[in-house]
Amino acid sequence: MLTFDSRNRMSSPDIEKLSLQLVDTNRKMEIFRKVSFELNKLVSLPEKLQTILAILNEQFGLANSLILIPDHEKQVLTVVAGHGYEASIIGQQVSFGEGLIGLAAVRKKHINLTGIRRKQHYLATVSNEGDLNFVKPIGLTDAESQVAIPLLSNDELVAVLMAESRNFCVYDQADENFLITLAQPLAVSIQNSMLYDSMEKKIKERTAELERLNNTKDKFFSIISHDLRGPVTSFQSLTRLFSHYNQEGQSDKIESLCSKVEQSVDNLNHLLENLLDWSLSQTNGIQCSFETISLREFLQNICQIYQPNLSAKEINLALDVDDDICIRVDRHTSATVFRNLISNSIKFTPRNGSIRIAAATEGRQVRIELRDSGVGIDCQRLLNVFQLQGQRSTFGTEKEKGTGLGLMLVKEFTELNDGTITIQSEPGKGTLVTILLPNGK
């Protein structure tokens, strides 16, 4: 209440009071200006909040303050910025409802307490609760004054601002009201920054997905233009030769051409199968149906397919798998894995070489090893065998054709079956492929 004398002049204590109020208002306006400036900066959220806490300390005397961001799913608040504490406080967590901070978060209401330790003693004394246990979840262990302000945006908790001190009556009603006012732009800015971060993350994910799809498309065109074109060109040449030998009446030459046609058809068939499987896997079109199957029988059937190729190169294939070993896999995708691995081994094993497939159970998994006496893979190529980038089919020891897709498919389909694959190889010393698949027993 202001007082005036007979000449309607204000008394000097009132002028002094108004002057102090003016200074205080100016100081608060200055804080607002600085905080608003910081909030508009394009820096990371923790950096922004750290600077704001420094301003609040400098201008407002908040020597110990924290800003915590909630995780509504896990019901915890994590410290993202702190002033006046060890750096290790960043990342520390407080559960919803725990301490002053947790309570402010749950109730979405500000709390201002002073004389904390004496009040706690008082409570314990009047209730005959005996020994006290002042366990503070975070911050100063001997704080006497604490204020926790929930930062809300559209009634949603965005963060909690907490300040504390070892002194009494640090934060009066005016300070509290000012912090509550300051909480509004802070909340909006934090929310905007979080939205920005999540959009950035989504953009990065989308970009990665688009890059992957683009690589897939490139690979697809590469296969179409290179690997698929080869056999078709061969057919064209063979057709001309058929026509030529037919005109010449050379039936023996026509007969020898037939085996080449058969081989080209097999290659083309294998390529198309892989291409189809790969396309399905890229568009998540593979539907797995897991079943328990006998490994020996399963591998025997696959080896059977390659019997002509093995005989042609006089390669000895040994299957060292016990009858009682079972795997729990999807039959179709697993068959693709082993078809490609066996086909690769045959392709890169010289005439009179050997391939051995062995298996053993290892707890919940079955270890399958495929070892060949082939030409091996050099270190550089070994690093990229499962990558799409830079893959090209390579010719086998007797100029056999491949698709360049095989090992990529093998890895993808092994993982689809909850398995893992590793390859060890050295040029001239053969290759060892180890696959771990779920045990069917």
Partner 1 sequence: MSQLQIRLEEIMPALQGVIPSIVATSSLDHIPNVTYISQIYYVDPGHVALSFQFFNKTIRNVRENPMLVAILTCPVHYTLYKMTLRYKESQTSGEIFDNMSMQLDALAIVQKKEHIFKLRAADIYEVISIVNV
How far is residue 39's CA from residue 54's CA, in Å, rounded to a whole number? Answer: 13
Instruction: Pick the closest to residue 286 from 416, 420, 411 (CA basis).
Output: 416
CB of 437 to partner 1, least distance (A): 50
Stretch that binds partner 1, among 79-87, 152-160, 165-173, 295-303 (CB under 8 A): 165-173
Instruction: State the Cα–Cα distance between residues 189 and 81, nearest whole angstrom.
Output: 15
Q: How far apart are CA 407 and CA 434, in angstroms?
A: 13
CB 26 within 8 Å of CB 18: no
Report in angstroms how near the CB of residue 195 gets to partner 1 at its nearest: 30
Closest separation in Å from C-beta 141 to partner 1:
11
Q: Which is nearer to partner 1, 32 or 96 (CB)?
A: 96
Task: Evaluate whether 36 touches 126 at the Cβ level (below 8 Å).
Answer: no
Only segment of 41-49, 166-174, 244-252, 351-359 that touches partner 1 (CB under 8 A): 166-174
**Does residue number 20 form part of the binding site for partner 1 (CB under 8 A)?**
no
| Complex with partner 1: residue 37 or 168, whichever CB lies closer | 168
Taking the complex as a whole, the smallest distance from the CB of residue 207 to partner 1 amounts, in Å, to 46
Minimum Å distance from CB 10 to partner 1? Answer: 18
What is d(CA 300, CA 358) in angstroms, rounded to the nearest whole number?
12
CA distance 346 to 264: 16
Binding mask 195-224 for partner 1 (x = CB under 8 A): ------------------------------
Q: Does 168 bind partner 1 (CB under 8 A)?
A: yes
Q: One symbol per residue from 406 to 435: x for binding partner 1 (CB under 8 A), - otherwise; what is it?
A: ------------------------------
Residues 88-147 that bind partner 1 (CB under 8 A): 97-100, 102-103, 107, 109, 111, 113-116, 118-120, 122-124, 126-127, 129, 132-136, 146
Q: How far is the C-alpha of 221 from the C-alpha of 89, rounded, in Å?
A: 54
Torsion angles phi and psi, residue 4, rounded to 5: -125, 150
Please give the helix or strand (H or E) that residue 116 lies within, else none: helix 116-126
Q: How far is the CB of 114 from partner 1 (least distance, A)?
A: 5
For 305, the token pair is 């397919």
For residue 187, give the nearest of 45, 47, 41 by alpha carbon: 45
Q: Name the minimum Å distance from CB 103 to partner 1.
A: 5
Instruction: Compare residues 75 and 191 and give the one whose CB is closer to partner 1.
Output: 75
- What SS3 class is residue 323? coil
Task: Please report how close the Cβ of residue 119 comes to partner 1 at its closest, in angstroms.
Answer: 5
Q: What is the dihedral of CA 134, 135, 136, 137, to 10 degrees?
A: -170
Instruction: Classify 238 as helix, strand or coil.
Output: helix
Query: Using the rule CB under 8 A, which residue among 172, 209, 248, 426 binds partner 1?
Result: 172
For partner 1, the closer of residues 150 and 396 by Cβ is 150
Q: What's the gap between Cα 130 and its chain centre? A: 51
Cα–Cα dist 244/238, whole Å = 10
Size of the site for partner 1 (CB under 8 A): 32
Nearer Cβ to partner 1 (107/240): 107
Compare residues 95 and 216 and give the one whose CB is closer to partner 1: 95
Query: Which is closer to partner 1, CB of 144 or CB of 330?
Result: 144
Interface with partner 1, residue 2, by CB under 8 A: no
In the complex, the smallest distance separating the C-beta of residue 108 from partner 1, rounded to whole angstroms, is 11
Distance from C-alpha of 152 to C-alpha of 163, rounded to nearest angstrom: 17
Token match 């390659």: residue? 306
Q: Where are the beta strands (DSSP E) in 236-315?
A: 290-294
Nearer to partner 1, 61 or 428 (CB): 61
CA distance linking residue 289 with residue 298, whole number of Å: 16
Are 110 and 123 in contact by the 8 Å Cβ rule? The answer is no
Q: What are the E-state strand segments in 324-409?
A: 326-330, 354-362, 365-372
Least separation in angstroms between residue 199's CB and partner 1 is 36
Shortest separation between residue 157's beta carbon and partner 1, angstroms: 15
Q: Nearer to partner 1 by C-beta: 169 or 272?
A: 169
Smaller CB separation from partner 1, 123 or 280 = 123
DSSP 8-state class, residue 404? S
The residues in 269-328 that bind partner 1, with binding defined as CB under 8 A, are none
Q: What residues make contact with partner 1 under the rule CB under 8 A?
A: 97-100, 102-103, 107, 109, 111, 113-116, 118-120, 122-124, 126-127, 129, 132-136, 146, 168-169, 172-173
